[in-house]
Structure 1
Amino acid sequence: MSTLLRARRLLTERGWLDDHQLRIEEGLIAAIEPVPAGVTTWDAELLCPAYIDTHVHGGAGVDVMDEAPDTLDRLAMHKAREGVGSWLATTVTAPLASIHSALARIARRCLSGGPGAQVLGSYLEGPYFTPQNKGAHPPELFRELAIAELDRLIAVSQCTLRTVALAPEKPGALEAIRYLRRQGVRVMLGHSAASWVQTRAAFDAGANGLVHCYNGMSGLHHREPGMVGAGLTDSRAWLELIADGHHVHPAAMRLCGSCAKERLVLITDAMQASGQPDGQYSLCGEEVTMRGGIVCTASGGLAGSTLALDAAVRNMVEHAGVLPEEAIHMASLHPARLLGIDNQLGSLSVGKRASLIALDSGLHLQRIWIQGQALSL
């Protein structure tokens, strides 16, 4: 069965195509071609690749660490309503047994499929951090790096563990980075007090980039550029960015857009309060409070976000001065390249999976197709 979608503008890796149509066959993009003369009806104002959120802890009142059997299904539907076609379920610092249990649940959902946005695998955020920039992570549960332990995590995940976050100044960090990269696992650096030199050494060892740039790391100083300076100036580094205006000031968002436009990966870092009303929630086993959409610990520190990825795209356009197509790439093509799946997802191209979204002229979501199937929102 073939599906034909006609758009006033269609976004490819090379830019916009006006008055084009896209044909879907068996869940793949079969053709992209000009709309025939005389066509007066359109399926989309803007037809774009579905977003990929590589860093998600929760939303819709649930958390990736929850054991309830419908947790990942509920979260996958919640993400699809933001225009997300695929995502990484992200764990937090917790007892090792709890992390193993979460990785196993994510693996089952990843391999079996289900409703909503596609689960691409897992992202391990913690417990390999240092206390100085712990964020909401409980430092008493931080662990030292050991290859045997990492190997066990990969095995428990049935090789669906896609990303590991760690602090590069920890003993054995460079060896761990090299090991993980040999296993095909991406490594992001964060929740760390590492220096510029230590961060650059981690990039030399194969680390892929920074966890939520600016947050939970040594900042930029003119005599010690720190982790932020290393990430902004190293062309090898992908930079996750929580573009909500709270975690990162709009001027700092603009700086990322100026220094690392082709290396920015928009993420939500969303926790269970995303899409929910203000009130009390939990993260990393600690009670947190959301007021005005901002979640904080009892001590006043930020505790994850409630950002939606489609809002992050609009924020980059409105507050960081990037072009709409650039912001869309930051939430689709760039995360696909980071994960090494840009031959399948991340842009509209013949032969790739038909995961795409229809947006209005203000970049608000109208419709979403995942693996060629229209999803009811």
Structure 2
Amino acid sequence: MPTLHFVNSRQCKGGKLIASPLTVDVNGVIIPNSPLPQDVLEVDLKNAIVSPGFLELQINGALGFHFASYKDPESYEANVRTLAQYLPSTGVTGFYATVPTVPDHIFHSVLPLLKPKDAPEAASVLGAHVEGPFLSPYKKGAHDAGNLYVPADTSLEAIYGKANLIQSVRLVTVAPELKGAMELIKALRINYDIQVSMGHSAATLEEGMQAMEAGAKLLTHCFNAMNPLHHREPGLVGLIAAKNPPFFSIIADSIHIHPRVVSLAYRSSPNHCILITDSIELSGLPDGVHPGHAQIPWNQVKAGNKVTIENTDTLTGTCIGLDECVRNLMTWTGISIAEAVRCVTENVAEAMNLHDRGRLEVGHRADFVLLGDDGIVKETWILGKRIV
């Protein structure tokens, strides 16, 4: 592959559209626009909008496969590959495979298969986001209460496995009010350099502040599975209005959160807002009743993007794509496309300390998305090669 010099483009940088060429070397890495090497191929993007490849912080599955569903290593890895090949159609070039509250043996089986990994013509697995089992039973949502743990009663190594903590786990969601949670957060940060998010929690604002002092850096699907914002006790949600707020993820599907609340959260700190899908394995499947899995041992009902446990109003997730979340944010807030894509690119990279993704900068991977002015994905490129 020759060096590619993309011209006539509008690049999303820092929430603004910047007219600038983009040059990608033979290894798929962004290099300076000058001087250009001799064997360069010019590509006219015809004034297209170029965004960094989208980064998905929380996805449970798609196309009938859930990261909690394990039979054997071969079929599991095959399903991960299929999902990774599907995601670029939604603009996603890297994702954190989310494993919810499951029995210990499932963690020990699947986490070794979710190490950070690149694959040809597919989104990269960036590691695992383990959403549990250190969650509040009062805010468990669709998580199985029988598999929840109090941090003081066990250890990280017993639940996940030491090798998996080192090699696979990159983000853990924890309820900070649980006994032993502060020590657990410190151990994750200091011993393993794993990021910590607060979620599925009834914590007070004060408990959230203590967790941030211990090293927690994010909020998991803000507003959902946590105490509602109250003017006298704002709870974890109140953290997003702090001088130095945590990064907070939002499911912008109009099912989990009202559009006005999404707008309110975004405007509290645009450079800390992260859009996630929290999409489950029913994404890409027809509407109707579908079976559960290791996390949810009950039938699920899919109606459009909305999925609930059969005969209840309990949400188990959504089936929305990350590109649709971006378009929703644009519509609900009136912000520009360059501002919206920060919430699936630069903000994610900052939250997760990613140094080679999420920005259109020299030295970064040439993972990018061509978008229409309406936010529709036109093309997705990974390491300088068109995938979609």
TM-score by length of 1: 0.92
Percent identity, aligned pairs only, is: 29
CA RMSD across the alignment: 2.2
Distance 1:148 1:7 in 2: 57
**Matched AA of 1:256:** A
Q: 1:330-376, CA deviations, whole angstroms, 9 ceiling, x for partnerless residues? A: 100000111101x211110111111111111211111111122221x
Rounded to whole Å, the distance in 2 between the matches of 1:369 and 1:43 is 16
Work out whether 1:49 is the aligned partner of 2:52: yes
Partner Cα separation in structure 1 for residue 144 and residue 268 of structure 2: 33
Matched residue, 1:120: 126
Q: What is the SS of the residue equivalent to 1:25? A: coil
Which residue, out of 310, 313, 321, partners 1:300? 313
Match of 1:181 in 2: 189
Q: Does 1:276 align with 2:285?
A: yes
Q: Could you tell me which residue of structure 2 aligns to residue 106 of structure 1?
A: 114
- Structure 2 residue 349 is matched with structure 1 residue 346: no
Question: Is the 8 Å Cα contact of residues 203 and 236 (structure 1) preserved in structure 2?
Answer: no
Q: How does 1:259-338 map to 2 (within 5 A)?
A: 259-281=268-290, 282=292, 284-285=295-296, 286-298=298-310, 299-338=312-351
**1:100 deviation in Å?**
1.4
Partner-residue secondary structure (3-state), 1:75:
helix
Query: What pairs with 1:1-377 in structure 2 (closer than 5 Å)?
Result: 1-13=2-14, 15-18=16-19, 20-32=21-33, 41-42=44-45, 45-67=48-70, 68-69=75-76, 70-107=78-115, 110-111=116-117, 113=119, 115-145=121-151, 149-152=155-158, 153=160, 154-182=162-190, 183-233=192-242, 235-281=244-290, 282=292, 284-285=295-296, 286-298=298-310, 299-341=312-354, 343-375=355-387, 377=388
In the TM superposition, residue 235 of structure 1 has moved relative to its aligned partner by 1.9
Closer/same/farther in 2, CA of residues 147 and 119 from structure 1, 3 Å limit: farther
Gapped runs of 5+ residues in structure 1?
none
Aligned residue for 2:231, secondary structure, equals coil
TM-score (ref. length: structure 2): 0.90
CA spacing shift, 1:40–1:303, aligned 2, 3 Å: closer
For the 8 Å contact 2:272–2:347, the answer to whether it is kept is: yes
Structure 1 344/179 Cα, relative in aligned 2: closer, same or farther at 3 Å? same
Does the aligned pair in 1 maintain the 2:118–2:124 contact within 8 Å?
Answer: no
Quote the residue 2:39 is aligned against.
Answer: none
Deviations, residues 288-332 of structure 1 (Å, cap 9, x unaligned): 111122101132111111111111111110012222111101100
The number of aligned residues is 370
Paired letter, 1:308: G
Q: Any idea what SS the aligned residue of 2:369 has?
A: strand
> Displacement of 1:188 after TM fit?
0.4
